[in-house]
């Protein structure tokens, strides 16, 4: 295997790992919230956890599933923020889980030509690498918002890294 393919595979493995980490953190957050709390907005300029998850599903679908996966773009972005009820917590979790799983499959199986070729997505000229970076970065950004909102609501440590010593110094 040549160096280019090795580097692309390493990039993809790390991107998928980050998607899994964010999904784990969002699931932990959702375990703390009631059915009503997933729709609670901190103020009129902010979104509920459910809205953020619907937005993530729309964005991941548009970028990874539609563009990288070469499927029709059917995203209705404004609806992700306008809706104020209609999904249960388990339905939101299922939608996120299925969307991320499909995106991961597309990312893992994308041929190198798809990874390096450019296309327009949401008005941006991106390569497949650019799409994957966007998906991971965007997912992480909104995961942080969800974590912050849940910590505000519950005043509690969510224990994402319980049992792991995060004070260990780097070696090598």
Nearest 5°: phi and psi at 118? -100, 150
Q: 3-state SS string over the chain?
A: CCHHHHHHHHHHHHHHHHHHHHHHHHHHHHHHCCCCHHHCCCCCCCCCHHHHHHHHHHHHHHHHHHHHCCCCCCCCHHHHHHCCCCCCHHHHHHHHHHHHHHHHHHHHHCCHHHHHCEEEECCEEEEHHHHHHHHHHHHHHHHHHHHHHHHHHHCCCCCCCCCCCCCCCCCC
pTM, full prediction: 0.94
Distance of CA 80 to the CA centre of its chain: 14
pLDDT digits (tens, 9 = 90+) for 82-128: 899 999 999 999 999 999 999 999 999 999 999 999 999 999 999 99
Judged against a pLDDT cut of 70, whether residue 1 lies above it is answered with no
Judged against a pLDDT cut of 90, whether residue 78 lies above it is answered with no
Contact assessment for residue 87 and residue 39, using Cβ atoms and an 8 Å cutoff? no
What is 3-154's CATH topology? 1.20.120
The total of other beta-carbon atoms located within 10 Å of residue 128's CB is 24
């Amino acid at each position: 295997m040549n160096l280019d393919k090795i580097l692309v595979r390493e990039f993809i493995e790390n991107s998928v790992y980050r998607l899994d980490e964010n999904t784990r953190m969002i699931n932990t957050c959702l375990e703390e919230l009631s059915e009503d709390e997933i729709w609670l907005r901190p103020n009129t300029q902010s979104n509920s956890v459910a809205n953020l998850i619907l937005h993530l599903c729309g964005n991941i679908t548009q970028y990874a599933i539609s563009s990288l996966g070469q499927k029709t773009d059917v995203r209705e972005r404004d609806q992700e923020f306008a809706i104020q009820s209609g999904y249960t917590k388990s339905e939101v979790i299922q939608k996120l889980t299925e969307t991320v799983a499909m995106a991961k499959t597309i990312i893992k199986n994308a041929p190198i030509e798809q990874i390096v070729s450019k296309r327009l997505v949401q008005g941006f000229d991106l390569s497949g690498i650019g799409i994957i970076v966007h998906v991971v970065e965007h997912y992480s950004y909104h995961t942080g918002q969800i974590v912050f909102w849940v910590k505000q609501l519950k005043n509690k440590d969510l224990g994402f890294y319980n049992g792991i010593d995060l004070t260990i110094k780097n070696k090598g």
